[in-house]
DNA sequence: TATTGTTATACTCTATAACTATA
DNA sequence: TATAGTTATAGAGTATAACAATA
């Protein structure tokens, strides 16, 4: 069972992610965001308002969870609920200018690789990136 | 800023992890464990009892968080608190036989790579594993 | 005085089911 | 009937500060 390279790689990746937990938490705390609030901002597109249900799908969670998350983003002035023009059951989420700013900061913080990756020789980094592009492509 | 291979790789890895969230949640739900309970079981060593504080360190969280997590593991019969022999402030955590069983199941579930990784050609998987081994030392 | 583990408090996230208003 | 979003409820994790027992 231990002669599986993909499995070993996955375990190593899990360790890499877990070790990065404090850095992510600190970065989000500095922006005043809880994890799912940050995730929601990333899923939302400032240029393309989307319904609550689309956000739930993007966050891989239930519609009912999204209500509270959006409540808090709205209270922070980062997002607004707007009635949909065609279906009056739907509420469309608009990212405010301030929300777009914070969103960019979140994106930057989350895209910063942890030390172990940042320290990779350029060749290795490219090999890794290309391999992942192919795998997820 | 976008010409950074390590950064792109990190973003792809984040996506890979995020997409795997439902699978992990389902696997743990089947074992009747919440995420941090599963993490605690992984950090604990059935052969080497450790203090609460060591578990907190392993979980990268505060001592106060561990109290509740261990309460629940103990209620489930997976772990026991035992007084330390040398320092009466310390409580030592012992994994029960049932705990060791569940721990192994958690380990197996978490080591299962997501589809995108499992589908890698053997050569790619080895390249990835070796690269990560080097990066994480 | 410092440390281990607990308690208290307040907030966030999760899962489920019931509810409303629309369709 | 079915769907979008909300509400209600209960459990779980988080951060912080205060606390008791022990060192």
The first and second tokens of residue A18, run together, are 């877990």
Tell me what the pLDDT averaged over chain B comes to. 96
In this structure, what DSSP letter does residue A43 have?
H
Shortest distance, CA A107 to any CA of chain B (angstroms): 10
**B4, part of any domain:** no
**B87, part of any domain:** yes
| Distance, CA of B38 to CA of B53 (rounded, Å) | 17
Interface membership of A29 toward B (CB under 8 Å): no
Residues of chain A below pLDDT 70: 1-3
| Distance, CA of A43 to CA of A79 (rounded, Å) | 12
Total of domains in chain B: 1
CATH of the domain at A74: 1.10.10.10
| Residue B60 structural domain | 21-113
pLDDT tens profile A79-114: 999 999 999 999 999 999 999 999 999 999 999 999
**A14, part of any domain:** no
B92 DSSP β-pair partners: B51, B82
**B40, part of any domain:** yes
Interface membership of B135 toward A (CB under 8 Å): yes
pLDDT score of B137: 87
Q: In angstroms, what is the C-alpha Rg of chain A? A: 18
Question: How far does Cα B79 stand from its chain's mean position?
Answer: 16
Interface membership of A127 toward B (CB under 8 Å): yes
pLDDT score of B3: 61
CB contact (8 A) between residue B9 and residue A128: yes
DSSP E strands: which ranges in A12-115?
50-51, 79-83, 91-95
Tell me what the pLDDT averaged over chain A comes to. 96
**A55, part of any domain:** yes
pLDDT tens profile B52-106: 999 999 999 999 999 999 999 999 999 999 999 999 999 999 999 999 999 999 9
Predicted model pTM:
0.95
pLDDT tens profile B110-136: 999 999 999 999 999 999 999 999 999
The arithmetic mean of pLDDT across residues B9-18, rounded, is: 97
**A61, part of any domain:** yes
**B8, part of any domain:** no
């Amino acid at each position: 069972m231990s002669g599986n390279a993909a499995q070993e790689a996955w375990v190593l990746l899990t360790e890499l992610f877990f070790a990065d937990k404090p850095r992510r938490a600190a970065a989000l705390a500095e922006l005043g965001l809880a994890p799912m609030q940050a995730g929601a901002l990333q899923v939302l597109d400032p240029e393309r308002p989307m319904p609550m249900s689309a956000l739930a799908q993007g966050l891989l969670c239930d519609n009912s969870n999204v209500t509270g998350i959006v409540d808090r983003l709205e209270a922070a002035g980062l997002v607004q609920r707007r009635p949909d023009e065609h279906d009056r059951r739907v509420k469309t989420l608009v990212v405010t200018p301030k929300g777009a700013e914070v969103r960019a900061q979140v994106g930057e913080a989350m895209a910063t690789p942890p030390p172990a990756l940042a320290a990779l020789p350029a060749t290795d980094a490219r090999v890794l990136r290309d391999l992942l592009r192919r795998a997820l492509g």
